[in-house]
Structure 1
Amino acid sequence: MSDVTVAADFGASLVRAIFSLNSQSQALKPELMLIAPQVLRVPSKSIENYEKYKLGNSMPENSAWVKLGNDYYAVGHLAKTHFNAVHCLESLKIDSAIPQLLAIVGSIVQSKQMGNSFSLSLGILLPWGEYTDRDRFESYIKQALSGFCFRGKEYFVTLESFTCLPEGAGLFARGRVPHKGGDRLRNARELNIAVLMIGYRNASILFIEKGALSWGCTENYGFSRMVEKVQQFTSGQKAERLVEVICSGSKPSKKAVAGLVRTNMVELREQEMQEIAAAIADAKQEYIAILTNWLKQRLPDRPDEIIVNGGTARYLQPELTQFFKSLGAGATNWCSSLDERVVKTFGDLVRAQHLQSRLLDAYGLFFQLHNRPLPRLRDTVETAEEAHHDEARVS
């Protein structure tokens, strides 16, 4: 048994990792590590100056930098706030995933005060379009883990096992959980099941035919499409702030939109508010049209079940539910039981930040790595109470 198990999902808006420190105990206590997605290669002098002049002692995940070979990388909150790094949506996930993963591992080790040498069982999720990179990623990460520096300390990690699955596989593996009092789910080997993931960067479909993965596809039809369209028709709006307002409700309130107004001229504020609100409404309708047209072309004819997840999918849940009905598809599974387990496992922090839908795939993968079924709902309460005490260290 390895010392640490990590299930990682390298999201374009947030890197999510669910991990455990393994022991002989039968109790399995998943913990959560969240890191901003920004990665920036910086000169060694920049890191030296940062360490020399920084004040305070922040949590490892909030001050993450990695030295790999002769290269230095600022990761997450440090890259975003100290070095003004911008996450590039056009680059492959594998390009930034290795510094991100080293930052995750380093943050876990330092927060848990472990030694500098240990073994790791790792599971990662990649979009279908990048799934062919899995062997290359394994080779790179195995070499990187064998000797790297995190926040000035050296670590030597043995990659004991590596599992790479396409995004959505964690949902398929552990997401088919019946509701309380519901009928027993039909065996997946009898069904044709489509797994749909819609995130910030892209949308992916996996098609499982009679229990076996048949095909998949990924396109850049994520939430960023809608955000970029709003930016085209408004003045000087930042993507991160737009996301907050757009996701505040199916139709953002006047108060929320007012927070985006940039003009200082009182007589023009109302006009700018109306323009922003109209841009959001128009961009949403256009995005729904583009997304559903793609789904209509790519989804198989009348699947027995559609498993749906991702932060964007949840935002569009009413529209997508109606769309699936129009296709004559079978049951639509929004993974509500899995959702409930994630909330109970990680406490109020997840619900307060609406993170549960973004954690389900990694949560399912985590239990698959341990070859265990999902915990019963009553067995997740203790973990949630413990997680509440650790909220301050989750960035």
Structure 2
Amino acid sequence: MTVSPPDVILTIDTGTSQSKVFWKCWSQGNTELLLMGSEFLEISPHDLIDTGLAGGRPENDAFIELANGKVYVLGMKAQQMRGKPPTGLSKYEFAAYKALAIIGAIAETANLPEQFTIALAALLPYKEYQDRKAFHDLLSQNLVSFNFRGRRYSISPLVLDVKPEGAGLAQSRRNDAPQSFNHRNILVTMIGQRDASLLPFKQGTPQSGHGTRLGFEQLIEEIANRASLNLDTKDWGRLTEYIFQAQQNPILLERIARMVVTEAEIGRKVEQLQDAIAQSCSRYCRDLFDWIKSSLGQDLYEFDEVILSGGTSLYLKAQLEDFFAQYALELSWALDLQDQIYRSLTTPIDPVLACRVSDAFGIFKLLGGKVSRLEGVTNASWSVTISR
């Protein structure tokens, strides 16, 4: 029996800060990285405004219409609209509809027909991973018929995998050094925008994971409260970026201050922000480390290595390294995987983004290998280490 290869393979990490996607056309083309903003609104079809202007990337002007008539706008386009956040949707539903928009954006970018096939792997935070079947079924159901930017698509998934956050890091570590992985106790720790996840492995065998809503989002809320920041929706979206970048570029604290006070009060507000950040980080780390200790218990003393990833992990790099040093753990930031990302993409990305997308890239590598092993599928052009 011959199995035809998919037209497109892609891996989606539908993170809270933004969706991170690796994709390529199977038969040709380079590995691509697509990013889509986190904004998500439900609107009436009458609210779609035709500006009369063309241009821009489809992921920045994304809207979908489901078979039931519901219309959602996503990412940059949602920032310009007056719709409302959907009520009553579960997190896995948000993730499934974001996946539809991402697939539509890829279809337009690659100039694909209205019917094509895909191999897809999606990453969900460990807490949401418990709803993986519901996510799988909802996405499969809507792939049959949906509209992206007014064009109807009907897409057949030849592979549709759902993995927990951290799986890409763990499986890449296993593939790169199987003997080491199978003889060590390894903890994969992902701390992102909204969630923290722990995936433990004992001598190569996965153990029960742990997840909690304790990401950068909670830290930002604490800082905003302590610094008395009364921000509108647009400025609130900037706050996360400015706080993260201010660690390396403190002048950004002045930008935050200008959002809320007059020029004469900027100095005082910057001092208040500095104090709020220090106190909020201290409290956040205490909560995070208490959760790690309570989740793992005595197992924490039995690990040999911890693999760290996620934007929040980078922001708290020094604190995390100090914490795990108490347990004499070897620390890894998956730098080998990040090097592979640099070699695979034709356009450079900064190290912070490379760290944030490394988990998705690990799953992308595995998905490519899985498709290659399908009976009858051979593709000499497949490579995830394409030279620049």
TM-score by length of 1: 0.85
Which residue of structure 2 aligns with residue 137 of structure 1? 135
User: Matched residue of 2:245: which SS?
Assistant: coil
**Deviation (angstroms), 1:370:** 1.4
Q: Is the 8 A contact 2:190 2:313 kept in 1?
A: yes
- Unaligned 5+ runs, structure 1: 179-183, 386-395
Secondary structure of the 1:200 match is: coil
In the alignment, is the contact (CA less than 8 A) between 2:123 and 2:162 conserved in 1?
A: yes
Aligned to 1:46: 47
Q: Which amino acid in structure 1 is aligned with residue 63 of structure 2? A: W
Q: Does 1:226 align with 2:223?
A: no
Contact 1:196 1:203 in 2 (8 A): yes
Partner of 1:119: 117
Query: Quick one: which amino acid aligns to residue 256 of structure 1?
Result: L
Tell me if the contact between 1:39 and 1:99 (Cα under 8 Å) persists in the aligned partners: no
For 2:261 and 2:194, how far apart are their aligned partners in 1?
33
Change (3 A) 1:265 1:334: closer
Name the CA distance, whole Å, in 1 between partners of 2:175 and 2:9. 24
- CA drift at 1:121: 0.8
For the pair 1:288 / 2:285, whether they are aligned, the reply is: yes
CA distance 1:146–1:230, shift in 2 (3 Å): same
Q: Which amino acid is the alignment partner of residue 187 of structure 1?
A: S
CA distance 1:252–1:294, shift in 2 (3 Å)? farther
Q: Describe the shift of the 1:318–1:249 C-alpha distance in structure 2 as closer, same or farther (beyond 3 A).
A: farther
Partner of 1:274, secondary structure, is helix
Cα distance in 2 for residues equivalent to 1:124 and 1:212: 22
Q: Give 2:26's aligned amino acid.
A: N
| CA offsets 1:162-195 (integer angstroms, 9 cap, x no match) | 11111100000114687xxxxx674322222111
Matches of 1:305 and 1:46, distance apart in 2:
52
CA distance in 1, matches of 2:241, 2:85: 17
Q: Does residue 162 of structure 2 align to residue 149 of structure 1?
A: no
TM-aligned CA deviation for residue 272 of structure 1: 1.6
Query: Is 2:15 aligned against 1:18?
Result: no
Tell me the residue number matched to 1:334.
333
Q: Which runs of 5+ in 2 are unaligned?
A: 373-382
Matched, 1:259 2:255: yes
Contact 1:80–1:86 under 8 Å retained in 2: no
How far apart are the structure 2 equivalents of 1:121 and 1:148?
A: 18
Q: Distance in 2 between matches of 1:55 and 1:286?
A: 48
Alignment of 1:379-390 (within 5 A): 380=385, 382=387, 385=388
Counterparts of 1:159-198 in structure 2, within 5 Å, are 159-175=157-173, 186-198=179-191
Query: Hey, what does 1:245 align to over in structure 2?
Result: 242
Deviation at 1:347? 5.2
Counterparts in 2 of 1:57 and 1:147: CA distance versus 1, 3 Å: same
Partner of 2:201: 208
- 1:284/1:84 Cα in 2 relative to 1: closer, same or farther (>3 Å)? farther
Supply the AA of the counterpart residue of 1:363: F
Would the alpha carbon gap of residues 230 and 214 (structure 1) be closer, same or farther in structure 2, given more than 3 Å must change?
same
Q: What is the CA-CA distance between 1:340 and the residue it aligns to?
A: 1.8
Give the match's secondary structure for 2:190.
strand
Which segment drifts farther, 313-322 or 268-277? 268-277
Answer yes or no: is the 8 Å Cα contact 2:43–2:83 preserved in 1.
Answer: no
1:54 CA displacement: 4.1
User: For residues 357 and 112 of structure 1, what CA distance do their matches in structure 2 show?
Assistant: 26
Q: Which amino acid aligns with 2:322?
A: Q
Q: Is the 8 A contact 1:92 1:130 kept in 2?
A: no
What residue number does 1:323 align with? 323
Q: Give aligned-pair identity as a percent.
A: 27
Does structure 2 retain, via aligned residues, the 8 Å contact 1:128–1:216?
Answer: yes
Partners of 1:264 and 1:16 lie apart in 2 by: 35
Matched AA of 1:43? S
My pick for the range that moved more, 129-138 or 239-248, is: 239-248
CA distance in 2, matches of 1:358, 1:347: 18
Q: In the TM superposition, what is the alpha-carbon distance from 1:33 to its structure 2 partner?
A: 1.2
Q: Which moved more, 1:291-300 or 1:152-161?
A: 291-300
Partners of 2:135 and 2:344 in 1: CA distance? 30
Equivalent residue, structure 1, for 2:156:
158
* Partner residue, 1:68: 66
- Amino acid paired to 1:351: D
Are 2:365 and 2:384, in contact at CA under 8 Å, matched by a contact in 1? no
User: C-alpha distance in 1, partners of 2:118/2:54?
Assistant: 31
Deviation, structure 1 residue 92: 4.4
In 2, the alpha carbon distance for the partners of 1:2 and 1:212 equals 31
Pairing 1:94-105 to 2, within 5 Å after superposition: 94-105=92-103
State the shift of 1:208 in Å: 1.4
Structure 2 SS opposite 1:327: coil
- 2:57 maps to 59
SS at match of 1:162: strand
Aligned residues of 1:13 and 1:36 also touching (Cα < 8 A): yes
Count of residue pairs brought into register by the alignment: 364
Deviations 1:300-322 (A, max 9, x none): 23202111100111111121111
> Does residue 236 of structure 1 match 2:233?
no
TM-score with structure 2 length normalisation? 0.87
The answer as to whether partners of 1:227 and 1:239 remain within 8 angstroms in 2 is: no
User: Counterpart in 1 of 2:274?
Assistant: 277
Match of 2:380 in 1: none
Cα gap change, 1:104 to 1:265, in 2 (>3 Å): closer
